[in-house]
Amino acid sequence: MPRRIHRSAFTLIELLVVIAIVALLVALVLPAIGMARRSARATVCSSNLRQMGAALTAYNGDHKEAVIPSYNMEGVTGAGVVLDGWGPIMDRDGYVPAAQQAKASAYYCPETKDVAGVESGQTGADPDNPKGWLDWPFERTGNSNVAQTIPDRGFDKIIRVAYWINANNPIGSDAPIVHDLFYTASVGYGTNADGVSIRTTYVNAFTRPHTLIALADGLYAGRQRDNHLGQTNSRIGYRHPGKAGGSSNVAFADGHVLPLTTRGFPRALGGNNKADAVRQENSFGRPTVYANPDRVFP
């Protein structure tokens, strides 16, 4: 008589157990993969800022220690004026080239939200706007910013920029002018009621370049008083992993790059900020938005 051959097979329960184990492993691994990807993108962002920090230092050396302007302008409101921008200046002059509205460039952090962050003139209360981008050069038309080239000055392309520059940017009002206040300024702003225009900043205004913030994740310029996470019209984009809601990569005036959380990012005086808190944030060797903190907090 032929022998029966019994073949072993998985039961339904065993299959369900295997599927459950696989699903659990996938659930455990996917967040780790996502975090690894975010960390990799943060590293690319840091590399971008190091490249631009080196370019800013090269610009200083080529221009007799003058700091690149956040942009050049005339008047105080900016209405009808096309603003060139530090990014287009570096592109035009060969420091950091970029293609037309390119995302794959040193001016664009790979963690950038694909939103025009200051399309209506401010970032408002939407937390995604500071994580977005701004196209330079642009014309201020009422409460909007419209990208526009300036061929007669050599700006023949639109540069999509996802970084913020630490600049004195009082555009839109007849504000008092304090020279050499931040890393750079909107050169030519004015004349104001005192008959003064903003002039170029020079590196001899920096008392501690290794602590002075030059560039950061974000967009546009200025608004240093409102740069913490959740503040209305903040222009700093906390795009990367970090405590208290994320971190922002920051390039300092000496070219090195570090991530800062919202608690470590210093604010400027103004608004509802308390003077003692702002002094603490900008003093004692901490990162600062001020070119000379000792002058601001004697």
Q: Which runs of consecutive H residues, i.e. helices, occur in 63-172?
A: 86-92
Answer whether residue 278 is part of any domain: yes
Tell me how far apart the alpha carbons of residues 159 and 185 are, in angstroms, rounded to a whole number.
20
* Helix H or strand E segment including 12: helix 12-62
Answer whether residue 25 is part of any domain: no
Answer whether residue 249 is part of any domain: yes
State pLDDT tens for residues 211-242: 999 999 999 999 999 999 989 999 999 999 88
Tell me how far apart the alpha carbons of residues 217 and 109 are, in angstroms, rounded to a whole number.
8
Answer whether residue 22 is part of any domain: no
Contact 184, 168 (CB under 8 A): yes
Domain count, the chain: 1
Q: Taking the model in full, what pTM does it have? A: 0.88
How many percent of the chain have pLDDT more than 70? 92
Q: Which single residue is written with the structure tokens 């023949």?
A: 156
Answer whether residue 215 is part of any domain: yes
pLDDT of 255 strictly over 60: yes
Name the least confident of 92-96, 119-123, 151-155. 119-123
pLDDT of 91 strictly over 90: yes
Q: Mention every residue, 6+ apart, whose C-beta is less than 8 A from residue 12.
A: none
For 96, the domain range is: 32-296
pLDDT for residue 35 = 59
pLDDT of 252 strictly over 60: yes
Answer whether residue 247 is part of any domain: yes
Apex CA 189: angle with CA 188 and CA 193, to 5°? 125
Tell me how far apart the alpha carbons of residues 200 and 184 are, in angstroms, rounded to a whole number.
7
Answer whether residue 147 is part of any domain: yes
Apex CA 31: angle with CA 30 and CA 37, to 5°? 90
pLDDT for residue 107 = 97
pLDDT of 9 strictly over 70: no
